[in-house]
Amino acid sequence: MERIIQGTAPSEVVAQLRKADGYYITNTARDLSQSDFKNRILLHTDMLAAPSRERAGYFSLEITGGASVHVDILRKQVDPFLKLELLREKMPNTMFQTLCRGVNLFGYRPYPQNVIRFTVREFAKYVDVWRTFDFMNHIPNMQAVFEEVGKAGKINEPCICFSTGPEHTDDFYVKKVQAILDVTGTDIILCIKNHGGLGSPQRIGQLVNAIKQSYPDLPIHYHGHNTDGNDIGRIAAAVINGAKIIDAGDSSMTGYYGPPPSLTVIQTLKELGYTAVGIDEDAVIETSEVIRDQRQYYAAFESQIKGFQPTVQIHKLPGGAMGSSLEQAAKGGFLDKMPDILHKELPRVQKELGNYWSVTPGSQILWTTAVANVLGGERYGNPSGDLRNLLLGKYGPFPFYQPEEWIYEKVLGADWQKVLKEEGGMDEIEDIDLDRERSNLNAKIGHEATDQQLVLYLQHPNDAVNFFQFEEKFGQVYVLPPSIFLHQGKFNVGTNLSFTDHYGKEHVIEVGPSLVNGDGESNVYLNVDHHQRIFSFAPEAKAGAAAAATVLTKEEIQALNKSGDIRAPFAGNICEISVKEGQEVAAGDQVAMMEAMKMQTPVVSAIAGIVTTISVKVGDALKPGAKIAKVDIDE
């Protein structure tokens, strides 16, 4: 049996999978990066791995999608399209795979149909396999993506999101599969998306078998996470029961919440009589050896808590959200509350909110609600905007049952029934004017934007523009290894840093002394290609000044709000300013929208009055207690 070569027609790919004697492996490098390294594995490392990954003979390399598109431009400063183009040059035969969140694309909220279609069209130029899911398993939310992938001649891999509990029966999932096939036709791969790594091997084996019984010709791709350390058991059960593709990662980089090591999967299944089709084991091993040294530079992004988390079966957080959740807990200083949040409150909230699938953006709603419930005292007392939207049915109908009425009342207010009646249900999101958006972007960057730039801008307007400006200023920085790009602390004087730039020219930079002049301006001396250059940095505000600023308590922030001094209730970014200076507001009116952990929460004025000052702009990162706006009582 041969590996499947990039460029093969979708119907051919599906036909080859149907008759495969054995199973294929997808290298989920993206999911590994997201689950275990907060999405920070740099293109530099993927480029190092590319030659041996190409030879390894994977079904596909999952290398884009999920949160990675955003993190690429926000924290890795790499163009997600350029990334795919450069990897394609080194990996001509390997199919590239993405994870697409249906209407939410690579973000957290539904996009207009024309944005979805435009985005899929542009990415489909590089991406062969489209794994698409919806956290409510609401199939209409995925339809536009299915259609565009089909039109582009690429492979649709729709998901059924998997979870556990009394409602999550084989019968339910088999019906979901039928509903998907009704829309897509049969030339697809079906993904069982086990983003939490939930259930026992036996449970997964049963589910694969149940689907196989109903749809014997449907190739099944099992996607799991190794959070509890047992995904190899589930993978084995899936393959034994007829799954044709499974997900695994490069062993030297595997951690706790991402995919399990591919070599272990291969060895385990070999003894059971199942061949990894097309796989060159030596190349699999070589990949791990090539990138092993790089892992040390990503240490800052590994989980705050080491070790497997078998309790995932209780809290059900998806592997892709584990790292960021723990990071938030560590930064927010409530790591000690995690047992309560994870093992008591999260399962309770899940049950109360309908036992839907804990995956983006649904997992963030569960998580923020559980955190707020534990830290905020009163349960559902401080609901996020997204929880409100969930209850209003903006994401789709609850799959099994609706939350109880008291929760609606807590979140939507006393007249919740009226609110639900008036605002409930999914919104028709109107198409946006792409030409106007394009000219807005052109104006912001000062030149004609490319289609790819427009796609990124439509996903993340502020971050995309910042990224384009970064590129102009600093060039193509993916050429820098993590030992430079993620370096912590100062370099030692005399350190030689060498790299080859985007155009192929080699450079060597020797770090010289840093001197502070009388004005507090720092001059960094670097010998760039044997010629000295000086880089000046303005003095920074004294670290002591910020540290000395008193941290306001929650009560103090509330008290200030009641006097019209609106402060940030928590740490987060301003994503919208809803008022203008001079505008009249009523008590309870939204002044701004803040975003933390991908969830949006409205900031409201406690009093009626006139907005006199706005102290923030969209995109600002605020600490708790930071000034947002002032409202003067109108007399």
The residue type at 266: I
Nearest to 180 by CA among 146, 148, 209: 146
Q: Which stretch binds another protein (CB under 8 A): 278-286, 434-442, 528-536, 599-607?
A: 528-536
Question: Of these, 9, 528, 586, 621, which contacts another protein (CB under 8 A)?
Answer: 528
> What are the structure tokens assigned to 6, written together?
């990039």
Block residue for tokens 């190409």: 54
Q: Which stretch binds another protein (CB under 8 A): 110-118, 314-322, 399-407, 499-507?
A: 499-507
Does residue 75 bind another protein (CB under 8 A)? yes
Amino acid type, 3: R
C-beta of 439: minimal distance to another protein in Å? 20
Q: What number of helices (H) and strands (E) belong to the chain?
A: 26, 20
From residue 348 to residue 387, the character string flagging contacts with another protein as x (rule: CB under 8 A) and all else as - is ----------------------------------------
Residue 412 class from Cβ within 10 Å (0-12 exposed, 13-18 middle, 19+ buried)?
buried
Instruction: Show the binding pattern over residues 457-476: x = contacts another protein (CB under 8 A), - = does not.
Output: -------------x--xxxx
Contacting another protein (CB under 8 A), which of 405, 415, 451, 501? Answer: 501
Residues 6+ apart with CB under 8 A from 138: 395, 396, 397, 399
DSSP 8-state class, residue 2: P
Q: Which of 419, 432, 445, 526 binds another protein (CB under 8 A)?
A: 526
Give the one residue of 189, 266, 480, 626 binding another protein; rule: CB under 8 A. Answer: 480
**Residues 61, 92: contact at Cβ < 8 Å?**
no
Tell me the closest approach of the beta carbon of residue 40 to another protein, in angstroms: 7
- Closest separation between CB of residue 349 and another protein, Å? 31
**Is position 484 an interface residue for another protein (rule: CB under 8 A)?**
yes
- Least Cβ distance, residue 68 to another protein (angstroms): 14
The contact pattern for another protein, residues 45-74, with x = CB under 8 A and - = no contact, is ------------------------------
564 touches 583 (CB < 8 A) = no
CA distance 592 to 579: 7
Cβ atoms of 302 and 37 within 8 Å: the answer is yes
618 binds another protein (CB under 8 A): no
CB 391 within 8 A of CB 407: yes
Q: Please pick, from the candidates 499, 573, 578, 623, the single residue that binds another protein as defined by CB under 8 A.
A: 499
CB closer to another protein, 503 vs 544: 503
> Which of 248, 366, 486, 579 forms a contact with another protein (CB under 8 A)?
486
Closer to another protein at the Cβ: 41 or 266?
41
Pick from 77, 143, 303, 325: which binds another protein (CB under 8 A)?
77
Length of the chain: 635
- Let me know: does 574 contact 617? Beta carbons within 8 Å: yes
Question: Residue 345 gets which letter from DSSP?
Answer: I
Q: Is 222 in a helix, a strand, or coil?
A: strand
Among 175, 331, 343, 507, which residue sits at the site for another protein (rule: CB under 8 A)?
A: 507
Nearer to another protein among residue 337 and residue 487 (C-beta): 487
Partnered with residue 599 across adjacent β-strands are 596
DSSP state letter for 199: S
Helical ranges in 75-161 per DSSP H: 80-90, 113-123, 143-151
Residues that bind another protein (CB under 8 A): 40, 75-77, 300, 470, 473-477, 479-480, 484-491, 497, 499, 501-503, 505, 507, 509, 511, 514, 522, 524, 526, 528-529, 531-535, 537
